[in-house]
Structure 1
Amino acid sequence: MATGQKLLSFLFLQLVLILMVSNLSNAKGLSLGYYHKTCPNAESIIWKATHRVISRAPTLAAPLLRLHFHDCFVRGCEGSVLLNSTKTNVAERAAIPNLSLRGFNVIDGIKAEVEKECPGVVSCADIVALAARDSVSMIHGPYWEVPLGRRDGRVSILNEVFAELPGPFNNITQLRQMFAVKGLNMKDLAVLSGGHTIGTSHCLGVNNRLYNFTGRGDTDPSMDPNYIVKLRQKCKPGDTTTLVEMDPGSFKTFDESYFTLVAKRRGLFQSDAALLNDPETRAYVFHQASTHGSTFAKDFAKSMVKMGQVGVLTGNQGEIRKHCAFVN
């Protein structure tokens, strides 16, 4: 390896270690039952409000989970994805990967209910974390304890999304680095990718794999040809609006079938297929596929707790927003 490459690798590892230490030190400010004294009904209010939404529209569980993921990977789990753009700043919400996010109105509604009970006490970031957990558990997914005490950030910058948020076109090397910087390992990558067991995506996220993978009008050779035929029936060239299920047949149910599909080379995104290009993530995929997800629920709960502590603001950092879309 050349000296320059060694230096870059060393600097990257140093950066990872610094960010991991920062993430862990901030996460120590979180605790279970954080609002027990200051707003004892907070978690109950959030649960009931989320239940009302999911009971009417269970497909909103996937967007609420995705909202938490998109929040945590840019600046940490501090609600920056919720902020609106201003005259002087273009916020994360305006970035192309976030234009398809849904659930902002759900979070705003829950926040309004909590504010009536306990003004200025419960952060938007904590509401996002709880709504993600509650909605997943309400569609028969795993339940996990959510340490609370996150504070809301005051900064949201569009360009940071492209640098920090993993996307559907990422390869395994890019995914590894993006997760490592957040203190998440390869098992976390495989486990959290399993969140694609629920929800849909626009054809925009897969069209390049179907029609122009290398710029020569070809298809992605890593994808099952029969799956390509089925997807082409739904997604025509240039189609950016049609929705396709990420886990065909059970996209409303939180289960292990995602891993069975990826093992059969039927993952919708390049980032799904990329899991087969690393020994650890590949082994995890095939293990879950062959054992009917024997440990998936438990693993997902553990990785969600870990992700939910990335880059949090605690103590006197940040603020408690009155309205999630605006700084105070």
Structure 2
Amino acid sequence: MTRVIVAPDKFKGSLTAPQVAAAVARGLREAVPDVDVRLLPVADGGDGTVDAAVAAGFLKVGRWVTGPVGKPVPASFAVKGTTAVVEVASAAGLTLLEQPAPLDATSYGVGELLKAALDVGCTTIVLGLGGSACTDGGAGMLEALGKASFGGVDLVLASDVDNPLLGPSGAAAVYGPQKGASPEQVKVLEARLAEFAQRVGPEYASLPGAGAAGGIGFAALAVLGARFRPGIEVVLELAGFAEAVAGASLVITGEGSLDEQTRHGKVPYGVVRASGDVPVVAVAGQCSVEPGDLGLKAAYALLDVEPDVTRCMAQADSLLEVLGGRIARDWVSE
């Protein structure tokens, strides 16, 4: 029996990764009813990382934490045995803000989630760093942790971002504007980060990933003894991708937009690299690069089915089902 692995990221603004995977699978099964489909929705360390862990068999644990502007927000992390998966976006994400707060947003809630993971006995913690609203260098996170000890804890930073903390490619300069910071506010944030780094550990400020999540990466590296890894590699390991792909005849991955950024730590490129000799095709909202440049055998875009962007996003679920059927006819033997 033909085995197909479906391992996409979310389609931001439309569907979660599990929803994308389920829609593609429906299309595959409608076209080839006896196909063996394994769903492994994944993420690159940003929002959706906890969902990917839950899809891989982790238990979701809910907590109320301090949100990015101080108001309580419902958040969650995932646990399996002594391993926890925590995502910054759950406690300090941009999506939690009604309006931008570039100077005031805090990572305090991230520290509360990390402490909750320690409290339930976790000794390995994966911290997904994407989607943050804050640029506080992780100061809020450290404040919330207080005297919590990370001795004996393997803290893994999962991210597709390798920026340093400071300078023109640092947290404030590159990501501050995306969080609503004006040019003057970027200067303020840069000065704050530089002063904080000087006090905490300036030698860590230039490390790859120190600028991730508004500098949370820096605080975790400098104070908590964390180590940095590409987010997609970490999530694929959590999902058991290597075991699942053995014996598969096709892998389907995807994300909202296949473009020049895809090769820089994004899910489809990571899936291609992890799939070995198994052919990989992708689904996407839109595709602006040659699939072969990403190591893909083919790419199937929603805009090729529905050229109206608004309708495309609103009907992404049913359109992905159509694409699943096309992939089945092109790549799966009956």
With the length of structure 2 as denominator, give the TM-score of the two structures.
0.27
Structure with higher RCO (Cα < 8 A, 6+ apart): 1
With the length of structure 1 as denominator, give the TM-score of the two structures.
0.28
Higher strand share: 2
Higher helix share: 1
